[in-house]
Every structure is written in C-alpha cells, then in structure tokens.
Structure 1
Amino acid sequence: MSYKAKFTLLATLFSLVLFFSLQAQRDTLDYLQECRLRAGLPNFFARLKQGDSVRIGYLGGSITAANGGWRDQSMQWFKQQYPAAKISQIIAGVGGTGSDLGVFRLQRDVLQFRPHLVFVEFAVNDGSGRTSHQAMEGIVRQIWKNDPYTDICFVYTIAGNMLDTLRQGRLFGSMLAMEHIAQHYSIPSIQLGLDVLKLMEEGKLVFNGKPEDYPGKLVFTGDNVHPNTHTGHRLYTEAIARSMKIMMNKSGAMQHALKDPYTIDNWEEAQMIPVNELLMSGNWTDLAKTGDTVARTYRVKYPVLLKSNEPGASLTIRFNGRLVGMSDIIGPDCGQYAVKIDNGPEKLFPRFDRYATYVRANAFFLPMLESKEHQIVFKVSDKKLDKMEILKKGDGVIGDLKKYEQNACYAGWILLLGTLSKN
C-alpha cells in the first residue's frame, strides 16, 4: 500500500472515530430527565435572594402565551418563594410560532426590557427540529451578546404527536436538538411532561378529551396540544417548581461564556426590519396611522402595518444575506403573495388558511439562499383563492361572507439574516 493510500485510510478511520465519538456524546442526551442542572441560574437566584428587582422573560408559543397557564403560575410561585423580591414578567409568547420566528423577534419582544432570566419554550411548535439548532443557538448568542449575566432555561412542553417517542423514554426531535445547544452552552433544561406520562401509565390521567367524559381522572388537554389550566398547566408548573428547588442552591454572579458556535450557520444575526424601509410600488396603506381595528389590536406587535388590496402592488427588498421572511397577518380578507427571488419565477405564498375565520399574526419564510446580494419582490397576487373550499378543512364558524371578499396582503416586519443594501 502506498504512503498516500495509507494516509487516506488513516484519515478516514480518524474521521469515523471522531464522528461516532461525537454521536455517542449526543446520544447520551437522548433520554428523559426532568431537570438537567448544568450551570444553573446563578445570577437569577442571587438577585431573588437579595430581594432585588427581577424580570423574567417568557419566550415561546401559544402554550407560553396562555393566560393563567404555566407562565402566570410560575410567576406566582416565584413571588411566594421570594416575597421580598420585586418580580415582573416579560410576556413574549406568540401562538403557532417556533424558534425560527422567536430568534428574529427576541430583541424587540424580550431583550429591550433587560431580562434577568429567559425561559425558552418551542419544543412543540418546532416539530421535528429541522432548524432548531440554528435558531435556538441564535437565541442563546443574542441573549449573551446583549448581557452575559442573563440566565437562560429551556423548557420542553409536550403534545400528542410526541407521545410514542416519549413513552420509549426518548426525547422528541425538537427537544434533542435543543439539548445539543443546552449541553454546548451549559444551559439548564426542564422536561415539563414527565409527570403527565407517569400519570397516564398509572391510569390517572387522560391526555386528550373532555373532562366530563372522564370523571375521577385528570384530563390534560382538549385539543392534543394546549394543556387545561388547572390540570396540564398545573403539572407543568409543579415540574418547574421541583427543578427550581434544585437550582436555587447555586447562586452568585456568573458571566456566561459565549464559546465557539455549535453550528457555524446559526442565526445569531437575525433581525426584524420595518416594512416601510422597503421600496413600495402601488397603493399601500399604513393601518397603524388609521383607526383600523386590526391595527389597533396589533399596535404593540406592529408599529407599522401595511395593507394593500391592489393586485400588482409590491414591496422590494435588496440585501446581502441568506434568508428572508415576512411577519404579517392572516385573516378572512387575505389573499396571497406572488414572490420573485432575483431573476427566478414567481412563487405563490397564500396568506389564508383553514383557520382564517378570524385575524391573527403570522409569518412565513422564503427558501434559504446563497449568502450574497439578492433582490426579492413581494407582490399582491391577482390569483384568487377558493376560500370556502379551504375553510371546509377547518372547524371555525365562517360567519358573514362579506369579510372574505378582499384578497389583500398585510406586511409588518421583514425577517432578515443579512443586511439591507444601500441602493
């Protein structure tokens, strides 16, 4: 065997050993454990014990947004445990969204309020965890670039589609991806659903159903995802309380190290840009400057909220980067965007779905691009959707048909991995 062949063989064997070694390290995380302490929450508990002002950020989806749920319940628990501290919360839960949007809105929704602790909850909405590594690492790095003394805790909620995996004692895909990031940065994590699984096995809890159909048993949820306040959310809060009692013994000033990235393509440069900074063509109205009811409802989320019902009206962004998204509105009066990337063909992005019997904040992303200069045009499409056919797949009350007549597009923020071009 030649020297070159031997060298190639040894290099290949080394690569394989390294791969399986790293894989084995990762696999050690793939089991259920309620609390992984790691570096704990030392700065947070130091402030609590000193009776200081403490701000807790709750970044997540609808399970975090729910009034009276684990967010409010955990706040009450902290206040009971530390009555001398002045504890307040930063509410940053947005229904139906995952870490891929959370990393973009983090600065505006959480960091500007200077939190001392940030709970991050996206396990359910991140599904298989396809972009969880990049987005969750971006969240961590943004927080510690903003303030290295801010503590972080990942919390993992559960849904019906996770049960088969969890019953095997293994983490769901999104949870495992998040554990890789947590382990890399020594961030504590809490699995909120272990007691749920235990009570199910004991026949004391029904995961999904109507409480009146199961007298004498706890019913966790009525839709397979969102916990009932006094059962599911209570179990989540009890898991947090048990974990906090473990973590509270570790306190004191600690500067978190922003070590080398776990993923070189993480999303720490994520930013939101107001859409009025884009090039506009056609008739667009900034509803935030009117008495429009949608703009009033979302005035905090969207200080600028453009709307156009004119086919062909467009918004153009020129940038140097690799990913663009739009934070907007889905509702009864919405149609679809026709989006053109560089010199490619137009692709349709419907802003109406089976749940669009009411107005809600939403977002969508374009495909990942090569990191370089691009131009993207968002145009109000003249192609109308069959809204009634789409709504047949949902279970909402359709109501007055007049509210579906328009085929408009809304725009609030551009979500950007990159920088705007100057011309």
Structure 2
Amino acid sequence: AQAIARAMLQMKNRAGKKIHELSKALISDNWEDAQMLDPKTFASFSPEWEKIDPKENESLNQFSGWFPYLMKAGKPGASFSFQFDGTMIGFFDIGGPEVGQITLELDGEKMHFQEKSSINYNAVNESSALIAINRFNQFCNNRYRGQCFFIKTPPGKHQVVLKIASDIPDKQKILGLYQLEDITAHPLKYHRSVIYLGKILIRGSIKTSSH
C-alpha cells in the first residue's frame, strides 16, 4: 500500500494541466434528439381519420406488437398536423395494395421533395422536385411490413401539415411485369389512397396541442 501511495505522489508531482481536444465525429449528423411518438399524443387529425386496433383486423394483426393503434384514412385531402422545433419529420406506416401518396405543407407553404434515397427526402421549394411521397412500393401487392420515411427540414420551429394526395401512383409500373396477377384480377383494391399511420418521427422537440 505504501508503494502505491508513493507512486501516486510521484505521478501527481509530474502531471500537469493539459487541454484534451475531441477528435472529429465519425458521423456529424446528430440524432440524439430523434423521437418516435404515438400520433394522437400531440398531432391533430381531420375528421376523415379513424383510430383502429390492429389486433381486430386480420390483415393488420401481425403489426399489433409494433403499434398499439393505427390512424387510418383513405380520402384525398385528409390531413394531420403538428408543431415541432427541429430538423426532420417522418412517419412509420404500413404498406399494402391500397396505400397512396403524401404531400407536405410547411409553415403554410406547399413543399416539394428532393429524393436522397428511398426513405430520405429534403423539403424544398423547387417546382421541378417531387410533389408527393409515394408510400406504395414493389412489395405492396401484399400487406407490407412497417415502413418509414424521413423529410429533412430547415432548422427551427415549424407548423407541419401532411395530407393524402389525390393522385394515385402508377402501381402496375411499380410492381413490374412479374407481379401483375393480383392487380389485374382485383384492380379496385389498388385504385385507392389509404394511409395507415403508426408512429410520427421527429428530430427535435414537439409542441403539444389539444384535440
């Protein structure tokens, strides 16, 4: 014990003050404030939306462990809105033959989208960019697993309004030549614009509102 004490004293006498600088982060995009939230805890929904229990729906029951409830709407123009302070929004939803597209209004202005990847977009004012985000993909000829997407916004406080788009995507083209049997046999099942919202995703903080 005395030897350890002597060694500690020697180290104390030799040690000096030094500034320790952190090295550059491997990933500079900070996600510490990312949140996945139940929609009705803070968002407001237009009357077209209904709250459904996935356990009571045969085709949605497999997702009941992920989502305690889903918000469902199938009418173009049906919207939900919320306020947040941050840099990104998105949602976690369920795909299928009937799903459609989503548009965004940010602070009262209709936005377009720059597609960075299949799930990542930038909200922009450029008229040449996408006007809606399509939630139907090549796997949606059946009930597709939960899927998500992210929209990067300018930093700051924002009023967000997401709406179901009126345009139905070219689902036959998306499915491709080898997956046309079901859509050919049941075209009305696909000629719809339904959204099944499970979670709202944000990077930042929310401002709650009454419903």
TM-score when scaled to structure 1? 0.36
1:336–1:261: structure 2 CA closer, same or farther, 3 Å change rule?
same
| Separation (CA, whole Å) in 2 of partners of 1:294 and 1:320 | 36
1:198-219: CA deviation from partner (whole Å, max 9, x where unpaired): xxxxxxxxxxxxxxxxxxxxxx
| Separation (CA, whole Å) in 1 of partners of 2:158 and 2:51 | 26
Query: 1:398 Cα shift?
Result: 3.5
Asked if 1:358 corresponds to 2:122, the answer is no
For the aligned residues, what is the CA RMSD?
2.2
| Separation (CA, whole Å) in 2 of partners of 1:261 and 1:412 | 36
The answer as to whether partners of 1:307 and 1:411 remain within 8 angstroms in 2 is: yes
The answer as to whether partners of 1:326 and 1:411 remain within 8 angstroms in 2 is: yes
1:253-277: CA deviation from partner (whole Å, max 9, x where unpaired): xxxxxx8882454212211011122
Amino acid in the other structure paired with 1:300 = G
1:258-303: CA deviation from partner (whole Å, max 9, x where unpaired): x888245421221101112211013112221672223311001111
Amino acid in the other structure paired with 1:271 = Q
Amino acid in the other structure paired with 1:276 = K
The partner residue of 1:375 within 150, 159, 184 is 159
Asked if 1:405 corresponds to 2:191, the answer is yes
| Separation (CA, whole Å) in 1 of partners of 2:205 and 2:179 | 40
**2:34 counterpart residue number:** 270
The runs of at least 4 consecutive aligned structure 1 residues that moved more than 6 Å come to none
**2:14 counterpart residue number:** none
| Separation (CA, whole Å) in 1 of partners of 2:91 and 2:153 | 15
The answer as to whether partners of 1:275 and 1:304 remain within 8 angstroms in 2 is: no
Amino acid in the other structure paired with 2:147 = N
Paired residue secondary structure (2:81)? strand
The partner residue of 1:286 within 14, 37, 51 is 51
Amino acid in the other structure paired with 1:267 = W
| Separation (CA, whole Å) in 2 of partners of 1:317 and 1:396 | 38
The answer as to whether partners of 2:81 and 2:162 remain within 8 angstroms in 1 is: yes
**2:84 counterpart residue number:** 319
**2:206 counterpart residue number:** 420
| Separation (CA, whole Å) in 2 of partners of 1:404 and 1:279 | 28
| Separation (CA, whole Å) in 1 of partners of 2:110 and 2:75 | 21
| Separation (CA, whole Å) in 2 of partners of 1:308 and 1:405 | 14
Counting only pairs closer than 5 Å after superposition, residues 62-141 of structure 1 correspond to structure 2 as: none
Asked if 1:330 corresponds to 2:95, the answer is yes
The answer as to whether partners of 1:282 and 1:310 remain within 8 angstroms in 2 is: no
1:260–1:374: structure 2 CA closer, same or farther, 3 Å change rule?
farther
Query: 1:406 Cα shift?
Result: 2.1
| Separation (CA, whole Å) in 2 of partners of 1:260 and 1:414 | 34
**1:301 counterpart residue number:** 66
| Separation (CA, whole Å) in 2 of partners of 1:397 and 1:299 | 29
Amino acid in the other structure paired with 1:413 = K
| Separation (CA, whole Å) in 2 of partners of 1:269 and 1:390 | 35
More helix as a share of residues: 1
**Higher RCO (CA < 8 A, seq sep 6+):** 2
| Separation (CA, whole Å) in 1 of partners of 2:24 and 2:158 | 26
1:261–1:294: structure 2 CA closer, same or farther, 3 Å change rule?
farther
TM-score when scaled to structure 2? 0.69
The answer as to whether partners of 1:331 and 1:357 remain within 8 angstroms in 2 is: yes
1:136-183: CA deviation from partner (whole Å, max 9, x where unpaired): xxxxxxxxxxxxxxxxxxxxxxxxxxxxxxxxxxxxxxxxxxxxxxxx
Structure 1 residues without counterparts, runs of 5 or longer: 1-258
1:387–1:265: structure 2 CA closer, same or farther, 3 Å change rule?
closer
| Separation (CA, whole Å) in 1 of partners of 2:48 and 2:23 | 47
Asked if 1:387 corresponds to 2:151, the answer is no
Query: 1:345 Cα shift?
Result: 2.0
The partner residue of 1:396 within 179, 182, 187 is 179
Counting only pairs closer than 5 Å after superposition, residues 208-287 of structure 1 correspond to structure 2 as: 262=25, 263-277=27-41, 278-287=43-52
1:13-52: CA deviation from partner (whole Å, max 9, x where unpaired): xxxxxxxxxxxxxxxxxxxxxxxxxxxxxxxxxxxxxxxx
